[in-house]
Amino acid sequence: MDVDLRRLRYFVAVAEQLHFGRAADALHIAQPALSRQIRALEDDLGVALFLRDRRGTTLTPAGRQLLHDAGPLLAAAQAAVRRCVQAAAPTQRFTIAFMPGITVTAAVKTLTAQHPHLDIRLLRTSWDNQTEVVLDGRADVSIVRLPVDPQGLRIQPLFTEPRVVVIARDHPLAGKDALSLTDLAGAHLLQDPAAVPEWQAETRAPHANAPTAVPVAHSVEEKLELVATGAGFCVLPQSTASFYTRPDVVVRPAPGLADNEVALVWSKAHETPLVHAFGAAAHQLQP
């Protein structure tokens, strides 16, 4: 059985929104047309993917399984198209993705010396897309901050570095030389809680106060803007905090936080001599 990738993309849009109207708007197609495409996909697969009633739209067990599998499948299709186009280019291109605060200059210079005619590109990533870029072919390798979902990836550890807390300079805790997780339990964490599992455990403790609801920030710049206004705090690797200095925030060590682990990742479906050459060069990177 062949699966229509366009219908699969439509399915993912509906599954993420759980609303046919919003998904149709995001896809820029009419809702009846979207509904027909989803029904055609269900007919092709011979299963129901959604339950629809007056209370809304939900995924069936088959729908949940397809959503889990659809991401890697669509990413692989995008990667195949991108690599096909790159293969036709007159100069071979190699794209290196990296997270904020990580300096890749030394490894890039080594790879350039080994392959002087290689067209090397750099791509800055964020917590949300640091592995996505290698799975969908935008980058050949990505230097990431763990943890990441290992599905479809090769992972090469590189180095570790301390994590620190960043708070507003006029925050009541700013005068302390170091901050414990207990100090921060009543504050708002301005990033994905999955990135700071130690703080999640602390806020479940009986002494913790419920933090004020504030939108979670995703980029470092967004986090620091919110920190400076006193909306909460963020946890950053020490190199990132040192790179993004500003006078209205302070950086404090937090002994309760584990070190950040930095690794090189690439797609299992795209292992090339250049990927391994960069992997060897990347061992010289340090925080």
pLDDT digits (tens, 9 = 90+) for 43-81: 889 999 999 888 889 999 999 999 988 888 888 888 777
191-206 average pLDDT score:
72
Residue boundaries of the structural domains of the chain = 5-81, 89-159+261-282, 163-258
Tokens, residue 266: 């690439």
The pLDDT score that the predictor gives to residue 53 is 83
Rounded Cα–Cα distance for residues 67 and 55 (Å): 21
Buried b (16+ CB within 10 A) or exposed e, 243-278: ebeeeebbebebebbeebbbbbbbbebbeeebbebb
The size of the chain, in residues, is 287
By three-state DSSP, how is residue 266 classified?
A: strand
Thinking of the domain 5-81, which architecture would CATH place it in? Orthogonal Bundle (1.10)
The correct CATH number of 89-159+261-282 out of 3.90.1150.10, 3.40.50.1980, 3.40.190.10, 3.90.105.10 is 3.40.190.10
pLDDT in tens, 132-183: 999 999 999 999 999 999 988 999 999 999 999 999 999 999 999 999 988 8
Q: Is 26 exposed, middle or buried (0-12, 13-18, 19+ CB in 10 A)?
A: middle
Thinking of the domain 163-258, which architecture would CATH place it in? 3-Layer(aba) Sandwich (3.40)
Q: Do domains 89-159+261-282 and 163-258 have the same CATH topology?
A: yes
Q: What is the mean pLDDT of the chain?
A: 88
pTM above 0.85, yes or no: no
In the chain, % of residues over pLDDT 70: 93
The pLDDT score that the predictor gives to residue 162 is 95
The pLDDT score that the predictor gives to residue 94 is 95
Tokens, residue 79: 């990667």
